[in-house]
Amino acid sequence: MLDSVAEKIKQIWNETLADIKREISAGDYEAWFSKLHLIEIKDDIAKISAPSKHVKDNVTWRYADVIAKALNACGCQINCVNIDVYDSNNPETVAKSEEGKNNKTVAETTVLDKKFTFKNFIVGKPNEFAYAAAMRVAESDTPVFNPLFLYGGVGLGKTHLMHAIAWHIKESHPQKRFIYLSAEKFMYLFIKSLRYKDAMSFKEMFRNVDVLMIDDVQFIGGKDTTQEEFFHTFNELVDNNRQIILSADKSPADLDGMEERLKSRLGWGLVADIHPTNYELRLGILQSKARKHKIKIPNEVLEFLSMKITSNIRELEGALNRVVAHATLVGSSITIDMASDVLRDLLRSNEKYITMDLIQRKVCEFYNIKLTDLTSTKRHKAIATARHVAMYLAKQLTAKSLPDIGRSFGGKDHSTVIHAVKKVKENIAMDREFATNLEILTKSIEN
């Protein structure tokens, strides 16, 4: 049994090495790969032994992604490659003396997420500019905007777009070397290189790339030496006409703890922001994700989720997955009632941001009427329209019941709310300008 596992590992490793041999020069192969051993594959981690720290570091920095890719091409599902120094008497085990240091020295690489492709990226108004910019950079042979700086709130698709660029480059320009890493990883490698007085291989690793992508650069702020190194690496690559792609949660000018010269340098290329989602985009994304599930998900449930979960796309996806998982486990069908039950906590936290008071205030501002008019019984057309809209938005954007909504409008009946919602729906269908205004108003409430 054990033998057969060992055999299997050996076979995978031989195939992997054969793959790598085709990808890199004979000299490099001999220098870095001839003495490596695959020790084990556990979950999505491949453990590899190297003959020396020098080989280990170089292979980790330069080839961890190549190894992961080759292993995956041989049928493995590796997300992480751990390389350690081995025991010279027994090359197939990691040296005992090194094991204790593993926590400090094990480096891993992130393999690109298979789902994060351009094909799987749904484009809508809030992200169309960032999408177009990313596409342009991915398709062009030489840097068009340098750097491309993508920014936006959490869970809105920055990492997805960066991986999509990487996938595209892998397919259309396989000879190009690219590195994708988080800013945290960048700092980790840098600090590690200082600790081991090995700054050369750190520099070397970046010097050879055609495309450098660093995700979440806001984390570099405040760390002076890392900033300095980042700045040099950055300048050197730009001077050599290499493409740099960065992401952050804020625009370059707003990055905290970042040196002025670095901020200004980061803004030299193209700065593309991803706006908070709107209803159409959320629905589009959910419809696309829903098609990938085996279970039937009624469109009205997708509409319900898109209406209620406005925070970000990650949370929206999570909500859909929870509903699907619940339905599959319990064997029930998916309905709005079931979804609101399963997602009670999530709906409440999303609702927190949109209160009745906020809706009423925004509607009054928009239609230029007084709050007391909104909750009055006046039937003046402008006031009645604003009241209908406010009730409609309360129904769509909060989890309040119809009687509750009625009460917030000066003690009106729930049937008044039903009538208002119906009226607004009719107007949306008939009057384009009304529909557009409503969209603008919704956006201003959601953001």
* Positions in the binding site for ligand ADP (CB under 6 A): 115-116, 120-122, 127, 152, 154-160, 285, 313-314, 317
Q: Which does 116 bind (CB under 5 to 8 A by kind): ligand ADP, Mg ion, none?
A: ligand ADP
The residue among 134 and 386 lying less far from ligand ADP, judged by its C-beta, is: 134
Contacts (CB under 5 A) with Mg ion, residues 53-82:
none
Contact between 362 and 356 (Cβ < 8 Å): no
The residue among 248 and 319 lying less far from Mg ion, judged by its C-beta, is: 248
Instruction: Give least dist CB 120 to ligand ADP, A.
Output: 6
Q: Which does 178 bind (CB under 5 to 8 A by kind): Mg ion, ligand ADP, none?
A: none
Count of residues near Mg ion by CB under 5 A: 2
With CB under 5 A as the contact rule, which of the stretches 137-145, 153-161, 189-197, 433-441 interacts with Mg ion? 153-161
Structural tokens at position 167: 């996938």
With CB under 5 A as the contact rule, which of the stretches 31-39, 151-159, 205-213, 399-407 interacts with Mg ion? 151-159
The residue among 179 and 438 lying less far from ligand ADP, judged by its C-beta, is: 179
The residue among 62 and 158 lying less far from ligand ADP, judged by its C-beta, is: 158
Instruction: Give least dist CB 324 to ligand ADP, A.
Output: 15
Q: Which does 154 bind (CB under 5 to 8 A by kind): Mg ion, ligand ADP, none?
A: ligand ADP
Which residues 6+ apart lie within 8 Å of 195 measured at CB? none
Q: Which does 343 bind (CB under 5 to 8 A by kind): ligand ADP, Mg ion, none?
A: none
The residue among 154 and 295 lying less far from ligand ADP, judged by its C-beta, is: 154
The residue among 211 and 389 lying less far from ligand ADP, judged by its C-beta, is: 211
Q: How far is CA 301 from CA 190, 314, 336, 417, in A?
A: 48, 18, 5, 21
C-alpha triplet 395, 398, 399: angle, nearest 5°: 90
Instruction: Give least dist CB 309 to ligand ADP, A.
Output: 12
The residue among 57 and 215 lying less far from Mg ion, judged by its C-beta, is: 215
Instruction: Give least dist CB 186 to ligand ADP, A.
Output: 16
Q: Which does 122 bind (CB under 5 to 8 A by kind): Mg ion, ligand ADP, none?
A: ligand ADP
With CB under 5 A as the contact rule, which of the stretches 131-139, 152-160, 193-201, 284-292 interacts with Mg ion? 152-160
Instruction: Give least dist CB 122 to Mg ion, A.
Output: 17
The residue among 156 and 290 lying less far from ligand ADP, judged by its C-beta, is: 156
Task: State the maximum Cα–Cα separation within the chain, in Å, rounded to a whole number.
Answer: 92
Using CB under 5 A as the binding rule, whether residue 159 contacts Mg ion is answered as yes
Q: How far apart are CA 82 and CA 108, in angstroms?
A: 6
Q: Which does 386 bind (CB under 5 to 8 A by kind): Mg ion, ligand ADP, none?
A: none
The residue among 57 and 216 lying less far from Mg ion, judged by its C-beta, is: 216
With CB under 5 A as the contact rule, which of the stretches 62-70, 157-165, 252-260, 400-408 interacts with Mg ion? 157-165
Q: Which does 439 bind (CB under 5 to 8 A by kind): Mg ion, ligand ADP, none?
A: none
In 3D space, the residue among 186, 140, 189, 138 whose CA is nearest the CA of residue 166 turns out to be 138
Instruction: Give least dist CB 123 to ligand ADP, A.
Output: 7
Q: How far apart are CA 56 and CA 50, in angstroms?
A: 5
Instruction: Give least dist CB 311 to ligand ADP, A.
Output: 11
Report the first-to-last Cα separation within the chain, whole angstroms: 59
Contacting positions for Mg ion (CB under 5 A): 158-159
